[in-house]
Structure 1
Amino acid sequence: MFVAQVLKASRFATVFRWHYHRDEHEGDSLPTDIRTFVAEQHGSPLSQPEQRSGMPEELRLAVPSQSGLVSDPILVLYGDDGTATLRKALVAAGHAAGARSFPTVPRGWCSWYHLGLAVTEADIARHAAFLAKRMPELVKTSTNGYRPVIQLDDGWMPRWQRWGDWVANEFFAEGLHAMATRVHRHRLEVGIWLAPFHVAADSQLARAHPEWLLKAGDGSLLVDARLGKPYHILDPTHPDALRFLDDLFVRLRRDGFTYYKLDFLYGAAYEAGRHDSAVTGMQALRLGLKRIADAINPPGKPEKCFVLACGAPLMPVVGLVHGARIGGDVGIPQMEDGKAGPPHLGFPLILSMARNQAARLFFDRSLFAVDADVVMVAAPQLTPDEARLMITIAALSGGIFMLGDDLETLPSDRLALLRNPNVLGLVGGPAAEPIHLFSAPEREAQDHWFAFPQELPPLWVRHDQDGSTVVAVYNWSDAARPYRLHFSEATGAGGSFSVADLWSPRRGGRALGIKADSLRLNLPPHSVRLLRMKPAAADAQRQHD
């Protein structure tokens, strides 16, 4: 396994280029050499984390006489064990970049995926009450004093999406502090969404302070071409813009928010006209994000607030945030006459979730806590099997676990899926790793890893401290499939194991008995079997004791 990894992305965007493809090698063995390898460092590429690559921007920096430029450090590593080599490289990168940690992995509910821009203070209040009274299983699995989160997403500022004017709209008439207080009464944390560097062209901020905004090459205000309406970008190198961010996040912290979802962060890294022309896009992003992080969690004091990066280049945010989204949204809210309609969901979006988790699960705890995105169970968009599969991916991600449905509208059978104590008990543990991750075929023409269902490994495994093994066997295909689970492949050892089905509502799972060496499973389309395996001798000894 050959790994090339930037150790600390503090100034540039690093691009690795090499020529190697297994299909060009004769015979069954893999090639042992890479004929061409180049490491380049550029300006920030126009990419978001779910993309494999973006086009780097040209970067021109003045180099004074008798001086030079120092690149961001990179690591080139080779090892026979692909998983171990990749993990070693990422641990080294996390150490070099000062990766941040948080005492627990947040879990809770997010307003975006079902309620979207139609969210109101009443929606937040009713979900706080629902979570506290109807979801005790989620509350009980929270640890280290950080309670489940009710997270208010986009839609709370002046309508529609007048980002930059970060004041509550008329649907939060009592203000954000009053809303946060109502959530706290249920002994829950409260979170909030912002796109801190984006400024709507029709906002009061854009009209009052155009000098705080990035400039395009012709001197006009830069407009983010990625979005459907015009947004400018706040310049983190402008002292007054930094003071604006200070004031904003200190106020939100005083209002009682302890979870911050910061979105569209890529914008601050655009290479553009800045107040300080010597600062690169990556430096500017880190400068602005550090100011925000310090306002939320003042240096020198215990960190009580969780900071989640979304829509961000991943390595540049290491050391500044506790968690990061590793893929795109898994659901799309729908609006009908200004009100929330049934969200757009489907198995293709779940496949994207799985694909990104497979490609980036090794980031978890090495660089930050991963965020695979929310889980949803809405019918008829998802079958029960698809809902179980989606929940399993997130529960075994090792990272953040958030619910995305309008919980009060769910039928009892769908709500029961979200309340399963066996599955919720897995949240926040080690990430499950796909077996034979690097043996899947790869098509270089595709922009994404594991772009086809047959490229995603079916068997994912995690080993718990009690000696048991949690096994997830997925059927990513559109047809029913049998699967022979070989215990030596899952656990590293053959023999007899006590096996339990964790998707059963019975506490501890439904016992399937003691099985020797292997187990035959039949999986419907788009489904998962979630099992806990314990060595039979050890399990029998515990029962005897």
Structure 2
Amino acid sequence: MRNPFTPVASVPVDPHTARVHEEGWQSWSPSGAYALHAAPYRPTNDNWATVCYRPGRTVPADTFQGEGLLALDPGDGSPVRLWAAPEPTAEVPSIRLVVRDGQAEISADGPVKEFTGTDIQAVLADWASGLGLEAPRQAPTVWCSWYEYFTNVTEDDIHENLRAMDTLDLPIDVVQIDDGYQKALGDWLALSGRFRSRAGIADAIRARGRRAGIWTAPFLVDPASELAAEHPDWLVKDPSGDPLHAGRNWGHDLYVLDTTHPEAAAYLTEVFTTLRSEGYDYFKVDFLYAGALDGVRHASVDALAAYRSGVELIRSAIGEDAYLLGCGAPILPSIGLFDAMRVSPDTAPHRRPEADDYSQPGQDPAEFTGAGRQWQHGRLWINDPDCLMARPAVETRERWAAHVESTDGLMASSDRLLSLDTWGVETTRRLLTGVAE
């Protein structure tokens, strides 16, 4: 049961110039600064509220809300204020701001600490620096299959692009196979019919002097998977004892793997040790929000503790030298666990998101939240702004490339490389060269 909201502070504001930064719950949750008269981005349906926002935290009308972090520039020349969770990896309070009679009234449903700074990005950056984390290691350059092939990727597609990297002389360190190689969510070691050998394609990548990377959604389970059928006791349950519903995607419901169950934990360890033994050393772990959902688990631990222990299990299996990229992950509870983190919703070949929901794929929401979270880069992890798409069919590709380049974060290409025109090849090479080791 959540705590009630209690008053934290009351700050005079200039209603015309003040701005409020909301920090969203997870990678895809809208995050950024708003004028006081602006309407913050909110979920437009219940499914996206579960999959892309903080479930169960409906925000009242005319209210700003940050998850663990909320910053206010009063707009009158007085210091910027930041209210932050004292223990951000263990407890993430919701922090609200409403304006009444020229005063910003701040409240929270858990403990917060107040900080001051010169501007919104600076006070957030100072807070992150104050956590005392080690500087993240440099990210490799990446080619990712997702934004060209989506779930229809084949092993032959990977081979074609491997050859094209050499032909075009692109400085790509990692070739990352995304969603589509596996039989089902949860059945990670069983191949779809589009791939012949997971170890074989890793060998082919490495034979060309590049590193092999692979995608998983380790905490999600397809109800139609063999795992769900054979091991229903490995699933997180709802209070009635049914599998916890983690929303819908790919046209089906989603269940959650209970990594506190010893046998489920052993299985997940087997998945990642197998992938590592096959030659993969770059891991994109996605849809991680599921591991932090409230539910009934085998062990009596809270959801955030279960989430962190699940990620730590993955890290132990892949080794400290492997590169770990999080996505769809609860932001503050992930501090200290990842080399790089997606800090925005998915991009897309188009600008506007479906239903104008800024948690959904689109260049506009990816730019808004990516810019709003720039303060995290180099302090919490390497920011992943999402992939460059430079092929002619991509809407406003020049603007999207400029955004990706401006972040100085993880640089990944996601085109069929032979579809690039001269501008696309030159832009891809320039962005990748900018971060090449």
Above 0.5 in TM-score? Answer: yes
The aligned counterpart of 1:508 is none
What SS class does the counterpart of residue 13 from structure 1 fall into?
A: coil
Q: Is 2:170 the partner of 1:127?
A: no
The Cα shift of 1:135 comes to 3.1
Q: Which runs of 5+ in 1 are unaligned?
A: 26-32, 42-70, 140-147, 298-302, 332-343, 430-545
Q: Is 2:113 the partner of 1:75?
A: yes
The Cα shift of 1:99 comes to 5.7
- C-alpha separation in 2, matches of 1:395 and 1:167: 37
After superposition, the C-alpha distances for 1:149-202 in whole angstroms (9 at most, x for unaligned) are 1110000011xx4443432223221x2111101001111111100000111111
What SS class does the counterpart of residue 191 from structure 2 fall into?
A: coil
The Cα shift of 1:13 comes to 2.9
The aligned counterpart of 1:411 is 421
Q: Is 2:116 the partner of 1:84?
A: no
**Structure 2 letter corresponding to 1:403:** S
Q: Is 2:403 the partner of 1:393?
A: yes
**Structure 2 letter corresponding to 1:389:** R
**Structure 2 letter corresponding to 1:317:** S
- Larger-Rg structure: 1
The aligned counterpart of 2:143 is 109
Query: Is residue 141–residue 412 contact of structure 2 (8 Å, CA) maintained in 1?
Result: yes
What SS class does the counterpart of residue 37 from structure 1 fall into?
A: strand
The Cα shift of 1:347 comes to 6.3
How high is the TM-score relative to the length of structure 1?
Answer: 0.60
**Structure 1 letter corresponding to 2:151:** L
The aligned counterpart of 1:515 is none
- C-alpha separation in 2, matches of 1:171 and 1:380: 25
Identify which of 296, 310, 322 aligns with 1:273: 296
- C-alpha separation in 2, matches of 1:170 and 1:81: 53
Identity of aligned residues (%): 28
Q: Is 2:67 the partner of 1:11?
A: no
> 1:117/1:259 Cα in 2 relative to 1: closer, same or farther (>3 Å)?
same
After superposition, the C-alpha distances for 1:406-442 in whole angstroms (9 at most, x for unaligned) are 11122334323323x3x5454489xxxxxxxxxxxxx
After superposition, the C-alpha distances for 1:324-356 in whole angstroms (9 at most, x for unaligned) are 11111112xxxxxxxxxxxx4346622222211
Identify which of 342, 350, 359 aligns with 1:345: 350
The aligned counterpart of 1:304 is 321
Q: Is 2:261 the partner of 1:238?
A: yes
Query: Over aligned residue pairs, what C-alpha RMSD do you find?
Result: 2.2
> 1:226/1:8 Cα in 2 relative to 1: closer, same or farther (>3 Å)?
farther
The aligned counterpart of 2:339 is 322
- C-alpha separation in 2, matches of 1:80 and 1:264: 35
The aligned counterpart of 1:196 is 218
- C-alpha separation in 2, matches of 1:206 and 1:424: 40
The aligned counterpart of 1:489 is none
> 1:13/1:99 Cα in 2 relative to 1: closer, same or farther (>3 Å)?
farther
- C-alpha separation in 1, matches of 2:246 and 2:295: 11
- C-alpha separation in 2, matches of 1:99 and 1:224: 33
> 1:269/1:347 Cα in 2 relative to 1: closer, same or farther (>3 Å)?
closer
**Which structure's relative contact order is higher, taking Cα pairs within 8 Å and 6+ residues apart?**
2
The Cα shift of 1:7 comes to 4.6
- C-alpha separation in 2, matches of 1:81 and 1:201: 47
Query: Is residue 10–residue 282 contact of structure 1 (8 Å, CA) maintained in 2?
Result: yes
What SS class does the counterpart of residue 213 from structure 2 fall into?
A: strand
Deviates more, 1:288-297 or 1:405-414: 405-414
The aligned counterpart of 1:49 is none
Query: Is residue 395–residue 427 contact of structure 1 (8 Å, CA) maintained in 2?
Result: no
Deviates more, 1:183-192 or 1:408-417: 408-417
The aligned counterpart of 1:360 is 373
**Structure 2 letter corresponding to 1:396:** S
Superposed counterparts of 1:85-484, under 5 Å = 85-93=123-131, 95=132, 98=133, 101-102=136-137, 104-136=138-170, 138-139=171-172, 148-158=173-183, 161-173=184-196, 175-227=197-249, 228-277=251-300, 279-297=301-319, 303-331=320-348, 344-346=349-351, 349-382=362-395, 386-419=396-429, 421=430, 423-427=431-435
The aligned counterpart of 1:522 is none
> 1:249/1:328 Cα in 2 relative to 1: closer, same or farther (>3 Å)?
same
Query: Is residue 101–residue 365 contact of structure 1 (8 Å, CA) maintained in 2?
Result: yes
Deviates more, 1:406-415 or 1:210-219: 406-415
> 1:178/1:4 Cα in 2 relative to 1: closer, same or farther (>3 Å)?
same
> 1:347/1:232 Cα in 2 relative to 1: closer, same or farther (>3 Å)?
closer
What SS class does the counterpart of residue 125 from structure 1 fall into?
A: helix
The Cα shift of 1:80 comes to 3.4
Query: Is residue 100–residue 322 contact of structure 1 (8 Å, CA) maintained in 2?
Result: no
After superposition, the C-alpha distances for 1:69-102 in whole angstroms (9 at most, x for unaligned) are xx7xx43101234443221111123x2xx46722
The aligned counterpart of 1:521 is none
**Structure 2 letter corresponding to 1:310:** C
After superposition, the C-alpha distances for 1:285-341 in whole angstroms (9 at most, x for unaligned) are 1011110011111xxxxx32110111111111111111111111112xxxxxxxxxx
- C-alpha separation in 1, matches of 2:166 and 2:181: 23
**Structure 2 letter corresponding to 1:353:** A
- C-alpha separation in 2, matches of 1:111 and 1:243: 29
**Structure 1 letter corresponding to 2:123:** T
- C-alpha separation in 2, matches of 1:164 and 1:177: 16
- C-alpha separation in 1, matches of 2:91 and 2:252: 29
> 1:271/1:115 Cα in 2 relative to 1: closer, same or farther (>3 Å)?
same
What SS class does the counterpart of residue 396 from structure 1 fall into?
A: helix
- C-alpha separation in 2, matches of 1:257 and 1:276: 31
What SS class does the counterpart of residue 167 from structure 1 fall into?
A: strand
**Structure 1 letter corresponding to 2:142:** G
After superposition, the C-alpha distances for 1:377-408 in whole angstroms (9 at most, x for unaligned) are 232342xxx22221121122121111111111
What SS class does the counterpart of residue 143 from structure 2 fall into?
A: strand
> 1:217/1:362 Cα in 2 relative to 1: closer, same or farther (>3 Å)?
same
The Cα shift of 1:226 comes to 3.7
The Cα shift of 1:258 comes to 1.2
